[in-house]
Structure 1
Amino acid sequence: MTFSRCLNKRVHATRGDIAVNYSGMNMLKASSAQDREGEAFRRAMRELAGGVSVVATGAGQDRTGCTVTSFCSLSVDPPSVLVCLNHGSSTLKAMRANGAFGVSQLSANHHEVAKVFSDAKLYGAARFEWGDWRNLITGSPLLSDALAVIDCQLEDVIERHTHAIIIGRVVAVGNHEQDAALVHWRGRFETLGASRV
């Protein structure tokens, strides 16, 4: 198995179970039931620290957005990015309608913004009461003091399983590099780096 060669350790897997023999690693054992396998996968993915961003679209009272960790660059030529959203997301529906979106990469000072934009009790424009929001070319909302902002035209949406992969063509960028980054790890918001004066 490739996994065993990468680890230089013995890997033991039995049919119907997910089990790994690896010195020092907590074992994730799951029955063959799909929900148990999904739980093992979710627990493994919690170990991946990710930058925290707000993806937003629309204007005025039609603004909407959500907190994401599934955002990354796709290409430099042409400049493009991708973000993944659940099919049930109201932000996804609005992004399709507007044909544009903005990404605000959050600093450690934006812990509250990240919580607000992931709060299921708050919707649409009500979330934008936190923070100072501006726009660049597409008119999509961008947090004025974010570490970086990326303004995008919607280029493509690829449907896969429970989520959609949204590809955006970058039309404008801006940044404030002086702050520490906000990251999400093991179900908690953490700080990466130190603020520069």
Structure 2
Amino acid sequence: MTIHTGHPFADPDPDPARRLRGRVVGAVTLWTAGDRADRTGLTVTSLMVALGPEPRVLALLDPDSDLLAGVRETGRAVVQVLTWGDRQLAEAFAGTAPAPGGPFRQAEFVATSYGPRLATTTTYADVSLVGEREVGWSVEVEATLDAIIVGDDADRPLLHRRGRFHTI
């Protein structure tokens, strides 16, 4: 065994854009689409809400994700804002933690016409796909906010920065 003085997986030539992205704090959301037989979901932190007469949500999704395929197929999704207590669920839907039986077996979900909604979520939006475009290694989706439910702010938000979860 060899003991190294540096981090064994550290990139010797780190990408400055990746380092910048890692320092931008993002709210952790769960996007879900589909129905009981063909449902899909993904943890998403790269998003923003654009205000105006027709408010929109913009998000960067993995072009190879099942979620993007599901949103394209149905034209709809549910965007749920996660809280500190949802850390394990966020990891399961990100594919970074074990999820025996799949991520939808890790919590209770309610079937809606927009997709599965986390039963315990208090803040969420039903969205409809308006457009998409390739941006870098992602696909930027634009969706209308068809219905918005904003719960109380009592729960601590789940935030992501530099590869770790945080809260305030």
TM-score bin (small chain)? 0.7 to 0.9
* Aligned partner (choices 64, 73, 91) of residue 49 of structure 2: 73
Do structure 1's residue 117 and structure 2's residue 93 form an aligned pair?
A: yes
How many residues are treated as equivalent by the alignment?
A: 156
Q: Structure 1's 121 and 130: CA in aligned 2 closer, same or farther, altered over 3 A?
A: closer
Which residue in 2 is equivalent to 1:105?
A: 81
Do structure 1's residue 145 and structure 2's residue 123 form an aligned pair?
A: no
Do structure 1's residue 85 and structure 2's residue 61 form an aligned pair?
A: yes
Extract unaligned runs of 5+ from structure 1. Answer: 1-29, 193-197
Question: Relative CO higher for 1 or 2, CA cutoff 8 Å, sep ≥ 6?
Answer: 2
Measure the CA separation in 2 of the matches of 1:48 and 1:161: 17
- Whether the 8 Å CA contact 2:127–2:146 is kept in 1: the answer is yes
Measure the CA separation in 1 of the matches of 2:43 and 2:68: 12
Scaled by the length of structure 1, what TM-score is found?
0.71
- Whether the 8 Å CA contact 2:35–2:111 is kept in 1: the answer is no
- Whether the 8 Å CA contact 1:107–1:147 is kept in 2: the answer is no
Query: Identity percentage over the alignment?
Result: 26
Judging by fraction of residues, say which structure has more helix: 1
Structure 2 counterpart of 1:158, one-letter code: R
Extract unaligned runs of 5+ from structure 2. Answer: 1-10
Measure the CA separation in 1 of the matches of 2:51 and 2:150: 19
Q: Structure 1's 89 and 167: CA in aligned 2 closer, same or farther, altered over 3 A?
A: same
Using the TM superposition, give the Cα deviation of residue 132 of structure 1 relative to its aligned residue in structure 2, in angstroms: 2.2
Which residue in 2 is equivalent to 1:48?
A: 24
Larger C-alpha radius of gyration, 1 or 2?
1
Q: Secondary structure in 2 aligned to 1:181?
A: coil
Scaled by the length of structure 2, what TM-score is found?
0.83
Q: Secondary structure in 1 aligned to 2:107?
A: coil
Question: Pairwise CA RMSD of aligned residues?
Answer: 2.3
